[in-house]
Structures are given as C-alpha cells and as structure tokens.
Amino acid sequence: MRRTRIAIALVLSVLSLPPAAEGQDPGKLAQARLDYLVGSWDATTEFFDAAGDIIRTDTSLDVIEPLIGDKVLMTTVITPDGTIRKTMRFYDQAEERYYEIGVGEAGDVWILSGEMDAYVTTSQVRSTPDGGRVMVRFTHTNIEPNSFDAFMEVSRDEGETWTRANMIQRMVRRTQKTG
C-alpha cells in the first residue's frame, strides 16, 4: 500500500501543463509548459472511499528547478515524513512529446508521456507485485497561472478501458507568479 501511495504521489506531483495556445509552435509550447512548472508547489492529495468521503489527505512540497539549461527540469518531492522522490521532465522535439521519468526511494521507475496539446499523460504498462499489468493516466483540470488539479485513472487491460481512481490532487504555487 505504501509503495502504491508513493508511486501515485510521485506521478501526480510531477504533472501539470498550462493552457495550450491554438496553432502555437510545438517547441515554443513545450518551453512555455516547462517554464510554467519552475517553482515551489504545495501538493495536497485527497483519497476517497466508495461513498466519496475523504479517508486520507497527503501533502508534499514539490520543488521544480532547471536541471540542464531550461530544457530539462528536475522535480524534488518532499513529504512530511522526509520521503524524497525525483522526477525529470523534458520535451522530445523529434517526437513532439512531453516526458516525465520519476524514481522513488525503492528504485521504482515511472515513465509517462503525452501530446503537447493535451492535458493528459499516460504511463507505460507496468508489472504489479501480484503479477498483473497496470497503466495510469492523469488528466489536468482547473489550470490557472498558480494552481491546477489532477485526477488519475487506472487501466489493467493495457489501455483498453480506464477506471477513475479514488483521488484528486491540488497543486498551488508557493510564490505566486504575476503576468
């Protein structure tokens, strides 16, 4: 259960995209999205039971900084118990895809990607401890200059069908950006 929570928090904490401008050059759009992410974010993730009641709330501080110039970013996620996770994010110009590669303390790796003109990122198929296969998909909503929400869906049939997961995350920038 803890590994699942860590993986969910890792993946959610690294996902956010500002609104796309119609007809904008993909490279410029990619750079705008990377620029949008730089800063410190307070993440609050609420988990729900079957009735829709909140059963747990997790928080973290997500610090996103340039790693290689302004084209590759590193996210450091710090939870209240001191757990640290890292995610690298970048834009592959040849593929015109946004990528995120996240690693947890146990060495578990999540690779997600998405189109630059959508607010959805999807993981590769992963094996689960019980021998199953899983994919996760994140959709971003309520995107504002200093905040956004994300929800997760899960597929156990390699993306044929998706089920909404029992959580939503709210990200709020610590130092508000203006203009």
pLDDT tens for each residue of the chain, 179 residues long: 444 444 444 444 444 445 555 567 777 877 888 888 899 999 999 999 988 899 999 999 999 999 998 889 999 999 999 888 899 999 888 888 889 999 888 888 899 999 876 678 999 999 988 999 999 999 988 999 999 999 999 999 999 999 999 899 999 999 876 65
pLDDT in tens, 36-67: 889 999 999 999 998 889 999 999 999 999 99
SS3 content of the chain, % helix, strand, coil (to 5): 15, 50, 35
Within 8 A by CB and 6+ apart from 175, the residues are: 39, 40
Q: Is 52 exposed, middle or buried (0-12, 13-18, 19+ CB in 10 A)?
A: exposed
Is pTM beyond 0.85? Reply is no
Q: Which domains does the chain have, with CATH numbers?
A: 2-173 (2.40.128.20)
